[in-house]
Each structure stands twice: as structure tokens, then as C-alpha cells.
Structure 1
């Protein structure tokens, strides 16, 4: 009986897959990535060794598809789940499709319009030309400017232009949905990118409303939280968050080099627990060398300075090695060191490496990870 049931299920899956292949419209994909991490200074303890999941790529599985509607118009969708490989638990606050969930239409003449849970335009256009394309440990401490897309956005309507002479433009508006206050919890963003041969440049702006306390709760927003570490947790009661980012990269043979700058402003109101705006400036550089088609070496540096309500400085250096065992499987070694000084708004500044978001409990932190990644 068990064999009959299994055979029936298998035949059903095969029939569906055959239909999907015939239409060339549905793709199942994913990434599994995990390793062993060593952290010097973690939560006030000098040593931590643990299994670390999603180091180069977030663990994910998803399904995406499209349908040709004729006349240059295509319907498309994407659903993407995030999970912790070590425990099997859902990430993104337990959402089934917390990484992405959208449906849309794409026109060869007018671009793409998508609706649902999505990345913002700054992430879409700047992230690919930064060291974040390798790993989130290259992000500024605490990912205070969403360099590593720690925040995704609900209820978002996004338009992506066709590419005009190397130029791509994106705009997005996420509806807060709060009755009586259209702006409460809203997010809006715009970005543009230009590519000409070996040179790529991009820039954009992101505005997040953190919730109108008269009609909702502070922190009720279309945006995921920006406050994931001690670097900026003292400003979780901000009325709004505004981020401007620019970046560029240049490819010379097997070497790619780039730089980026961001200015992040956390603004209070009468319901905030702090007074006076807080801002963070971050400058970063990186260089990547493809030693051969299977072996990559990358290094980077971040300088982060906060000001306004508090004053702290963070220096972060990163390095990574990646070796392809096949087109879909690689092994890697990544490391980073951060040093912090000054005040973070709640006390002495603690070291935090990138979007790894582990508070050191001290002024310095060292991280080393060896891991394995497989894509399907």
C-alpha cells in the first residue's frame, strides 16, 4: 500500500513537472549554506564556537515562474522561503515566504510592475556592486544602512524600468495600511544605476516610517526592523529612518574593485526615547581577485561614524576565500575584525561585525567561519 501511495505521488509530481517544462514557466530553486564559526568576544564571553547558517547566502528555497501573455507582456511571480539550516526553523519572524513573495507584469517596452513583499530599489541596484555580493559580514556594523538587506518590505508596489543606454531606474512605495493615517508605516524608495563596460555606478534613497503612535504602535511598519544590534538599538523608537547610498565598482581583468558611501538618519518625535537626530556615516572599499575560474579572494574595509545624539566609531576589516568544487557547490573561509570606541546611545560602543549582529560585550570582535554551500 505504501509503495502504491508513493508511486501515485511520484506520477503526480512527474506530470506537473512535465507540464511546467512544456510551458517553460516554473522553476524550483534554493541554497543551503552552513559552517562552523569561531567568535572572539560574544555577549561578554571571550570565546564562542557554533554552527553558523547562511554565511555567504541566506538558506532558502523558492519557486518562481512566468507566462508569456503576448505582445511583449509577461506575467510573473516569486515565492521564497528562508530557514535556519542548523535547526530547520523558519526565519524572517516565522513567515512561510519571508524572503520574497510577489506577483507582477513585465513589459519589454515599459518595464516591470510587481506587488508584494520585496527588496527596495537601493538593495536591488547597489548591492550587486558591493562586497555584499560575497557575504553580509562585509556590511557596516549592525547593517545600519540596510547594506545587506536586513530589512525587506511588505505591501510594496515596485516599478523597474527597462535598461535605457545602460541606465536602469527603480521606484517603490509600500502601503502602511493604517486607518486614519495614510503615512503611518509607509516606505518609499528610488534608485538608479548605470553600467558602461567595466564601470558600474548606482545611487538611491530609502525612507521608512516607523509608525504613528497615535494610531498604531511605534515599530509598526512595512519595513523589517533596522535595530538588530547594539550599534543602533538605542534608536528603535525613531519616528523615521532615511538612508542615502551611492556606490561604484570597476572590473580590470580578473580583479574587481569598488567603493560605497551611505548616510543614515534616525529622527525622533515626542514619542521617542531619545532627543536629537542620530546619524551614521559609512565608507567602504573592497577588492576581489578571481585567481582562477574556481578560486576567489576578496578583502574589504568599513569605516563607520555615528553622530548627533551619540558618538561612536567603528573600524572593520574583512577577508574571504571561496573555492568552487563544481558549478553548484563551493567551500569557503571568511573572517572579520571590528574595533569600536565611543558611546552608542545606551553606553559604551560594542564591536559588531557586519550583519552577523552579535554584540561583542567588548570594544573588539574577531570572527572566523569555514563552510560549505550548495545551490540547486
Structure 2
């Protein structure tokens, strides 16, 4: 690895020779995360329940990835920056994020000490940047997430063709704004995305809030919307797949975290709305309200454990409720390698919609684990290893 990095650094050295005033650096980094998962109540491919599923699971706490990031000093406190980040499934080697080569992130931009950072490309929205880090997802991953990740708790979506501004931190405050271009001739609003966020940190207290809006565009296949937009879609499990024909996603989210010695407590609330139009299979705005709390404790420098609870309710075209409880433990073998164990239980009740717009019983699907249960309850247990480089 050291030899490869030395070879990678050669071009940077040549650039330095060409421009005596310039300084540049390129960093190769990544995470590989995988484990074995046990799922009680998992739906088989033919739609029938199977009581047990044992599977290889990639990216349980952190999505497996590799990336390159770099900076060039332009002088006067100004620098050019770039970042390319690939996501993949460690079990199969397949590309993630819709088989994109750099689906996790691909940006280039400028950053200045006084005015902040502007980046262009495929990137995270301000809610992910400023609120997600205040939730238990930051410590134990998507198993703790909102059912089906319906509010992007575990950053299931990114925004392509976007421009983002990130301010410097002033007195503990920071703000962000993002705009994703829809790229539809004659219809500026079709497929566009925009988002705003703000955060404040002072000692043990951290607060964050943000708003996200995405238009799904008007591309249809067999009469159903394909959600061609600057934003990825969120309709990945039975929790919200009945609303995949939505013409818009709106998410408002707030989060708070407080550190007391070795203990960390936090809470978050989100309101997610899926809007409809003439092409939607449903005809009343679907509203998901979610509240989550967590507590974790750093028992030793190497051992952390946490517990979380998540409640979600659906109103609008139908009424459903989801109660979810989670446990997690992590042991750091070294600064770069850790072992972990995760557990989640979810109970669903009430009615929701399927992809045809018909009313059906609500099924469980824990966090962002992505396995439909075919039942009103589900248990997930995962043990695994994560290595950072």
C-alpha cells in the first residue's frame, strides 16, 4: 500500500515543480464493512413469508467505499478541492447507488477561509450534513434508522447535478444551501431539488435543523412515475413503496445531542410528505411523522454500547404505526478496526398502500436494512467487522 501511495503522489510532485507557489495533495481512503445477519420474518422472492433468513450483509454501520480527495492551494486563503467516492457491496463486489462508479459522492469546488465552500456535482443534502450526525446512525448505522429510511435518516439518497454552499463556522453556527438542477427544457421546476440547513454546537450541546424538497419529474413507464429527478428516490421497502408514484418529497427534520461525560443522549423529529398529482397512484398527501431517541455510553476507550427507540406514524391516504427498538455494541480492536453487534425489533400496525394504490396491512421493515418482512413484525441481528484505511 505504501508503494502504491508513493506512486500516486508522483504527479502531485510534478505539479509542484511546475508551479512553485502551488501546494497540492491527494488522499486515498476507504471503509470495508461486512457481517452476517439473521432476520426473523423475511419475505421470499415469490412474496411468501419465510421465518428465517441468514445472509451476508455489507455496509452495516458504514457503507463500504473507497475514495480520492484532494486540494490545491491557490493562495490568499483560497483552495480548489475535489472528492470522488465509490460505494460497493463487499460480498459481491457490485457497484452501489444504482451501479454508479462514484455514486456516493463526486464533487469539485472552491473553498475559502473567510467565505466558505462551494461544490458542484453529486453530493449530500444539508440535512444529512447537519442533522444526521446528531442521531444514533452516526454510531451504529442504518439498523437504527427510520423504518424504510423514509426520511433519509441513513442518507439513502444523494442529489446529482447540484450546487452546494457550506458556510464557515461562526460562533458555533453553520448554514448550508443546495440546489439540484432538473435539466428539463421548458420546465425549470421539473426534477429539481433544493435544501437548506443550519446547525449550532457549543460544548456538550449540538443542534441541527433542515428542510429538503425534491420534484419527481414527469417521466412515466407503463403509466407509473419513474422518479427521474436530480434527487434519488426513497421508495425502497414496503414502508413507503406504495407512494413511489409521488410527484414530490418534502422533509423537515430537527435533531439534538448532548454529551455528559462518557454518555451521549440525543433526539430527533422529522415530518416527511409525499405529494401526489394526476399521475400518482394515490390522491392525498401521505404524511409520515417520526420521533427517535437514543442513549449510548463509552464504557472504555475501546467499548461503546447504545440503545434507541423509533416511532413512526402515517396519516393521509391510510393510517399506520411503526414501533422500533434497537441495541448496538462496538469494540475497537485498533484505531482502524472494530467489531460490532447490532439488534433491531419492529412492530407495525394499521393500513398502508401498495404500489397499485390498494389498501393493505402495514408490514415491518427495520431501519435501512432493506428487508421486507411480509409480516407485521421483524427481528434483525447482525455481527460484523469494519476496517478503515
CA contact (8 A) 1:31 1:59 kept: yes
Look up the match of 1:14: 6
Look up the match of 1:25: 25
Look up the match of 2:151: 145
Whether 2:181 is the aligned partner of 1:175: answer yes
CA distance in 2, matches of 1:14, 1:282: 48
Per-residue Cα deviation, 1:27-79 (whole angstroms, up to 9, x for no partner): 00000000000000000210000111100100000000001111110110000
* Deviation of the 1:288 alpha carbon: 1.1
Whether 2:379 is the aligned partner of 1:366: answer yes
CA distance in 1, matches of 2:130, 2:387: 25
CA distance in 2, matches of 1:256, 1:373: 22
CA distance in 2, matches of 1:12, 1:338: 46
Q: How much is the aligned-residue C-alpha RMSD, in angstroms?
A: 1.6
CA distance in 1, matches of 2:280, 2:4: 56
CA contact (8 A) 1:213 1:271 kept: no
CA contact (8 A) 1:171 1:190 kept: yes
CA distance in 2, matches of 1:141, 1:35: 21
Greater CA drift, 282-291 or 21-30:
21-30
* Deviation of the 1:17 alpha carbon: 2.1
* Deviation of the 1:271 alpha carbon: 1.0
* Deviation of the 1:212 alpha carbon: 2.8
Secondary structure of the structure 1 residue equivalent to 2:361: coil
Secondary structure of the structure 2 residue equivalent to 1:344: strand
Which of structure 1's runs of 4+ aligned residues deviate more than 3 A?
A: 10-16, 18-24
Whether 2:263 is the aligned partner of 1:271: answer no
Secondary structure of the structure 1 residue equivalent to 2:94: coil
Picking from 223, 244, 260, the partner of 1:252 is 260
Per-residue Cα deviation, 1:157-210 (whole angstroms, up to 9, x for no partner): 000001111000000000000111111110000000000110000101000101
CA contact (8 A) 2:225 2:280 kept: no
So what's the TM-score if we normalise by structure 2?
Answer: 0.91
Secondary structure of the structure 2 residue equivalent to 1:343: strand
Whether 2:324 is the aligned partner of 1:311: answer no
CA distance in 1, matches of 2:335, 2:188: 48
Look up the match of 1:122: 127
Per-residue Cα deviation, 1:273-310 (whole angstroms, up to 9, x for no partner): 11111100000000110001000001100000000011
Look up the match of 2:20: none
Secondary structure of the structure 1 residue equivalent to 2:185: coil
Greater CA drift, 321-330 or 269-278:
269-278
Secondary structure of the structure 1 residue equivalent to 2:55: strand
* Deviation of the 1:225 alpha carbon: 1.4
Whether 2:214 is the aligned partner of 1:208: answer yes
CA distance in 2, matches of 1:87, 1:12: 25
CA distance in 1, matches of 2:292, 2:38: 24
Picking from 308, 322, 326, the partner of 1:300 is 308
How many residues align? The count is 366
So what's the TM-score if we normalise by structure 1?
Answer: 0.95
Sort the Cα spacing of 1:11 and 1:285 in 2 relative to 1 into closer, same or farther, 3 A.
Answer: closer
Look up the match of 1:283: 291
Map 1:28-39; keep pairs closer than 5 Å: 28-39=28-39
Greater CA drift, 216-225 or 332-341:
216-225
Secondary structure of the structure 1 residue equivalent to 2:129: helix
CA distance in 2, matches of 1:13, 1:64: 13
Look up the match of 1:348: 361
CA contact (8 A) 2:225 2:245 kept: no
* Deviation of the 1:217 alpha carbon: 5.5
Per-residue Cα deviation, 1:113-158 (whole angstroms, up to 9, x for no partner): 0000000001000011111102111111000100110001100100
* Deviation of the 1:16 alpha carbon: 3.6
Secondary structure of the structure 2 residue equivalent to 1:205: strand
Map 1:45-194; keep pairs closer than 5 Å: 45-134=50-139, 135-194=141-200
Sort the Cα spacing of 1:37 and 1:186 in 2 relative to 1 into closer, same or farther, 3 A.
Answer: same
